[in-house]
Structure 1
């Protein structure tokens, strides 16, 4: 089990300062960079970070506007998050990494994989949507957000988080996720979702030539098998792992299994 430490990345050049968690020992192998999704923070990966083998180095930044990161007034398109991700790699001196996107965090991860293949050795998509604008529940949620005010009510954040989790998520961990979700200002809830819905997400799947692992829980209330098939059809070197009985937060429901899968994937890339 890896120990987790927390640091701050001062990206500079007008970019926000981002907290990040690190686990594992620095070494010669490829590091993992874990990219969280909508209104989450690095904490969403805390069980997974602890489950990773100590020999595997991993980093998990909190993205702008989320958790305890800086919260600029603008910059919440997927392209903005992707640019921050490259700046984060630069800050840590990481030449190439395995990018691991959780939920919508996989959108910015795949943007970087497609645009900067020199920086990405492999891509892992954990419960990542191919598309979002085709999902009525998501577009309906956008309407709900029009009246969301600050401070964001914790019960609102709780209803959102619990709607994506199964009873396989540890209750204490879920409470932490809810607390972190509530830290995002109302405008970040609105603008981040607007960016996801107005971006051509199908286009962000093109041009990805790195090996890609797609992990999906078959009880995901948001993503269907056909949605995941769109990813597999678009990325030539991709394969699917199905977690039976798991929901959207597959990496929070069975972190030990996901950690083994990540270690095997990264190990094969090194080979």
Structure 2
């Protein structure tokens, strides 16, 4: 797993856990090259379970360090994982086994999860949320979910997709969409975070629109856990997170 910092204002509040494949001859294989294959073959279930277990084990380790105990880790959950009948039991078993704090675990789902059997998804989310698990809707705005579903989901956060953030300064439509997502999140009582923030100008635009949580190369690339912890230490020492 690599970790990409999630920022609230200028404070690191946690990270998204991103899987990387270190191939013996090809080096680092990008996720775009193997995640679709894992989904096609069904291996995404084993891979997703490993990611969740590794992330929760990391949360438990951080919980033993006072300056890191409140960090959260976001984990992407595939539609195939959510469809498993025992998905809730598996997640809770991993939390118990690793000793992770459930309220520090953020599960990110995409709008594709909502294509069918929405009531089943809502029930599973509700069962996990009752135990403290946090939910974020990833890639918001590019999928198929309706607003009627959105108000039913026990969400905590919307994530503005990077495709809107990338051109937010040059494309008036993307600017309007980003602002609208922020306003929608506020009206529903949800948090909002923007991914793919690569420049200070993008960050400033989002802040002016009312979005103060960010993730992207402007702050931190996905890095091994040792490098993420070093970044956190440097921020605590007074360095700017963008240095």
- Mark yes or no: TM-score above 0.5: no
Q: Give the TM-score normalised by structure 2.
A: 0.34
Which structure is higher in helix share?
Answer: 2
Larger Rg: 2
Q: Give the TM-score normalised by structure 1.
A: 0.31
